[in-house]
Amino acid sequence: MEVVRAEFITSAVESNQYPADHLPYVALVGKSNVGKSSMINTVTNRSKLAKTSGQPGKTRLVNFYRINNAFYLVDLPGYGFARVSQKEKERWGYMIETFLSSSPNLLGIIQLIDIRHNPTADDMTMLNWIEHYEMPLIILATKADKLGKTRIKPQIDKIRRKLEISLDIPIIPFSSKTGQGKEALLKALDSLLKNPPDFQGL
Ligand SMILES: Nc1nc2c(ncn2[C@@H]2O[C@H](COP(=O)(O)OP(=O)(O)OP(=O)(O)O)[C@@H](O)[C@H]2O)c(=O)[nH]1
Ligand SMILES: [Mg+2]
């Protein structure tokens, strides 16, 4: 797939604020600061489409980006960010849960995990949820530029072991800095969109 058009459409809290055109959604989930918003900029070749920050907790709403007038990449607030109030955490949890439980056109999920770190308890909770609903999943191991080339494969193998996922779920080493993994991700998105699974949303 080539991204020829990418537009920010809207930010939402409640499901009645989501876009009304019924195009499929592919949602990005992961810890705060893992690189979700940066990934959107990288795959769309638009360095400032999604707001990013060195400080975790940048994305605070559910943001919809329409790609090629064909589907949405949905940027969700990150989980596991300790330095926000309990009230804010609950609000983010509410937005993520609302999104996941009221998106009949959710086609699949991209879960982002920092290639340098073991998956967190929150990553495991999210993965269990995704597996429970048999939701199609692509995993990106982000910030691959921060590891030497020879360390990438062993680290991917380690993450796969920790996640205990089957070999047919891809884990793509990815870097928003160098563009590594971008083609593999676009290919995985293509096959998700072209061969939508039986899964019909929740
Ligand atoms: N070296 C490197 N830095 C990255 C990469 N991706 C993201 N970053 C940096 O990591 C920081 C966080 O990136 P974001 O894209 O804002 O992360 P996020 O997951 O959207 O974070 P929240 O909105 O808080 O959930 C920024 O300083 C980015 O420049 C990458 O592939 N390589
Ligand atoms: Mg973000």
Task: For residue 107, report the distance from its CA to the centre of ligand 2, in Å.
Answer: 21
Task: For residue 173, report the distance from its CA to the centre of ligand 1, in Å.
Answer: 15
54 lines ligand 1 (CB under 6 A): yes
Task: Convert the pLDDT of each residue in 5-53 to its tens digit.
Answer: 999 999 999 999 999 998 999 999 999 999 999 999 999 999 999 999 9
From CA 14, how far away is CA 191, in angstroms rounded?
30
* Residues forming a β-bridge with 11: 63
Ligand nearest to the CA of 31: 1
Residue whose entry in the numeric block shows the structure tokens 């995985």: 188
Residue whose entry in the numeric block shows the structure tokens 């019909």: 200
Amino acid at 113: I
170 lines ligand 1 (CB under 6 A): no
Task: Convert the pLDDT of each residue in 168-179 to its tens digit.
Answer: 899 999 999 999
What domains, with CATH codes, occur in the chain? Answer: 6-194 (3.40.50.300)
142 lines ligand 1 (CB under 6 A): yes
From CA 129, how far away is CA 76, in angstroms rounded?
16
Enter the pTM of the model. Answer: 0.94
Atom 2 (ligand 1): residue with closest C-alpha? 143
From CA 64, how far away is CA 75, in angstroms rounded?
6
